Amino acid sequence: MENQKTQGVKLRGRGEKPSLRLARFIIKKQKWIESVFAAGCLFSLIAMLFVNVNYDLTEYLPDTARSHIGLDQMEAAFGYPGTARVMLKDVSLYEAKQYKDRLEAVDGVDQILWCDSTVNIYAGEDFIDVESIEDYYKDGCAVMDVTFDEGDTSAKTAQAIEQMQAITGEKGYYVGMAVQTKSLTENVESEMSLILTVAVIMIFAVLCITTNAWSEPFLFLLVMGVAILLNRGTNIFIGTVSFLTDNVAMVLQLATSMDYSIFLLDAFSREREGGLSEEEAMVRAVDDAINSIFASSLTTVVGFLALVSMKFTIGFDMGLVLAKGIVFSLLTVVFFMPAMILKFASMNERTRHRRFLPDFQGFSRRIYKARYASLALMLLLVPPAYVAQGMNTYLYGNSAVGASEGTKVYADDQVIVNTFGRSNMLLALYPNTSSVREREMTEAIEALPYVKSVTSLAGTLPEGIPEEFLPQSLTGELHTRDWCRMLIYIRTKSESSQAFACTQELEEILTGYYPENSYLVGETPSTRDIRDTITEDNTRVNMLSLLGVFLVVMASFRSLVVPVLVIIPIEAAIFLNMAVPYLAGDTMVYMGYIIVSSIQLGATVDYAILLANNYAACRKKIPDKREACIQALSLSCTSIFTSGTIIVLAGYIIHFISSTAAIGDLGHLIGRGGLYSMVLVLTVLPALLVLFDRIVTDNEFERFESWRNRRRRLKKPQKMEADAE
């Protein structure tokens, strides 16, 4: 006891290092710190309710994108209406007309385009040329194109769709951007609560197996819950976050930062076993773990921050929120968790149980024996995987997110397409300079084989009739003093090579008649610009994340080679992960591809750093590199398996529960990427560490410093002799 007191007094001397002084401050001010975190949680609970969530990917296009400029100009001149397509099944022409009139009267609906504008529906079906209206009515089905008063993401538009669905009942089938957005909002909100619940249960089960007391998982989840809450609440300062960020950030933060709390509790347990009091053990634990926590969190933050450089600014949105989440996890573990550990200490002692995991000695020896076979297999697989991951096919736009296979919107779309084919709305915006030119352009566009219908004021107004003869409700939608607008429906998907080619041809016609200040907007032009922007981002994001992680590891190990060694298995895992969709013939949402590369590198490089650190530490004590490698593997397995399993589970839970393609694909890539990273770190990295043993244990920086000191010592006598002469 006397020895403990003496030891404590020595530690409190003026020569204490900063981490010890910080640790003592945390313990001394723990009540005050708890109050600060409690206030932060209360603020976040309220603030998170006021964070806007955006479901429109076009909002993230750069200001220089042509479709973005056109959208801004159109919204300023006319507004940008939401759109939908409705099919009514098993109705007569007369019944369809009755439904159309009721739907058009719904508050929030601007107009509905159907064949009743060109055909006298009341004349009777025997007197109507059925072939002339087959784009709108056939086989007892009627299809109508709807435009709304407000945009696709408007609450008023969503309410209008609900009322329309109530009117049509089971007869109605709905597609279009406004319907996709409404469906996406509802699905994401309901699914993410389930995803988070299942993730917490599964992570709790993993922690029960990997920890030493039944109460410890509750401690970890409490601390991580506080960090997640603080991150969500502080999104209020960003204002609006994407639906993708809002819904995957919680699970990713939980999965990628759980290590920090495990590091601190393990350090505390070791110090308590050494006979120190609880408070002194906590001081030592904070001092011992803080460097590991900072190093681990910094690599993850750097990986996430690389996304901020994307011109397609959903990357800025996601990178900032994820990096902020890691910072809050770090702050919560370092400042808030010590007080919680002391509160849980007696409970942890009472609920302590036997260790469920083995010591991994036998497992480590088998891995060591197979190390070169693992390295050879990786070298064999990575080149074709690198080629394959560059040959994937991708989807980029809103329809790939909101109308993916498995959703009701997708099912309705298949029914409508099988009956009537495609209908894709585009809007042309051009200066109001000549009605003659507008009429000529309308006729040129109407003549195109893939064009279903064209609505323009010059095309609607009979030749020689003044514009004033038409109602303001029509002219105001198509003309202002300075601008004209044209509605064009084409028979293509919103995202396909055919749609892009048709859009290109329409743009050429538009610029031919109006060379300046003319724009073609809609889902297809926006999707094309998203594709062009985000593919340019890919190389830059990958290079920045690699460079950032390299610099962090280099500073930690004081070596130029060790960062390369620890990154090799992670990059190999990324290539293998991204090659699987190509081999399986799957089409990926490109956002998932570019985002996961940074997430996988930032979140899983910690496994490689941990193993390399343990190997370097073991080599200082064990002369034989074989035994040192086996011991390092044995020490690392529990942490790597715990962290890796949590990431894998989090990813696959998102994948299996979410019906939204962008979220589901992201989860699948994260889960599979975490698994591949874990396997390659444990099997390939040992071979690299042993092969480059001298560099790992005696790094270049230390050798350079030693060489420079020797040079100084040699030069000193020579200088003294020269001075004497």
> How far lies 666's CA from each of 78, 227, 252, 406, 679, in Å?
37, 22, 11, 16, 20
pTM: 0.81
Q: How confident is the model over 251-262, as pLDDT tens digits?
A: 888 888 888 888
- Which of 677, 663, 672, 638 lies closest to 196, judged by CA? 663
The predicted-structure confidence for 468-518, as pLDDT tens digits, reads as follows: 656 555 666 788 888 998 989 899 888 888 999 999 999 999 999 999 889
DSSP 239-264: -EEEHHHHHHHHHHHHHHHHHHHHHH
Class in CATH terms, 360-409+538-725: mainly alpha
What is the percent of the chain with per-residue pLDDT over 90, rounded to a whole number? 29
pLDDT in tens, 61-100: 888 888 889 888 888 888 777 888 899 999 988 888 899 9
What digits encode the pLDDT tens for the residues 439-478?
999 999 999 999 988 888 887 766 656 556 565 556 667 8
CA-based nearest residue to 646, from 189, 208, 194: 208
**pLDDT at res. 44:** 95
Task: Give the model's confidence band at 6: pLDDT under 50 very low, under 70 low, under 90 confident, else very high.
Answer: very low
Question: Where is pLDDT greater, at 557 or 141?
Answer: 141
Asked whether residue 319 carries a pLDDT value surpassing 80, the answer given is yes
Q: How many CB atoms lie within 10 A of CB 358?
A: 11
pLDDT mean over 378-393: 91
Please tell me which residue, 36 or 594, carries the higher pLDDT value: 36
> What per-residue confidence (pLDDT) applies to 13?
47
Average pLDDT over residues 687-705: 73
Burial of 113 (0-12, 13-18, 19+ CB in 10 A): buried
CA nearest to 625, candidates 555, 694, 554, 698 = 694
pLDDT number for residue 425: 85
pLDDT digits (tens, 9 = 90+) for 523-534: 899 889 888 888
What is the predicted pLDDT for the residue at 455? 85
The rounded distance, in Å, linking the Cα atoms of 566 and 556 is 12
Would you state the pLDDT for residue 462? 61
pLDDT tier at 10, thresholds 50, 70, 90: very low
Rounded CA-CA distance 99/117 in Å is 15
| Pairwise CA distance, residues 199 & 595, whole Å | 21
What percentage of the chain has pLDDT greater than the value 70? 89
Please compute the mean of the pLDDT values over residues 123-129 and round it to a whole number: 63
Mean local confidence (pLDDT), 391-403: 76
Helix axes 278-305, 18-28, angle to 10 degrees: 110
Mean pLDDT over each residue of the chain, to the nearest integer? 84
pLDDT per position as a tens digit, 579-629: 999 998 888 877 777 778 878 888 888 888 888 888 888 888 888 889 999
Residue range(s) in the chain whose domain bears CATH number 3.30.70? 66-175, 428-463+472-520
pLDDT at 15: 57
* Cβ proximity of 307 and 298 under 8 Å: no
Which phi and psi angles does 111 have, rounded to 5°? -155, 160
| Range(s) of the chain covered by CATH 1.20.1640.10 | 360-409+538-725
Note the pLDDT of residue 5. Answer: 41
Q: What is the pLDDT of residue 446?
A: 92
- Helices marked H in 306-402 — which ranges? 314-331, 337-350, 361-369, 371-389, 398-402
Top-tier CATH class for 428-463+472-520: alpha beta
Q: Give the pLDDT score at 11.
A: 42
Element (H, E) at 535: helix 523-557
- Spell out the residues 6+ positions from residue 370 whose beta carbon is closer than 8 angstroms to its own: 683
Q: Specify the CATH number of the domain 66-175.
A: 3.30.70
Confidence (pLDDT) at 712: 60
Instruction: State whether residue 89 is helix, strand or coil.
Output: coil
Question: How many CB atoms are located within 10 Å of the residue 504 CB?
Answer: 13
- The average pLDDT across 412-433 equals 88
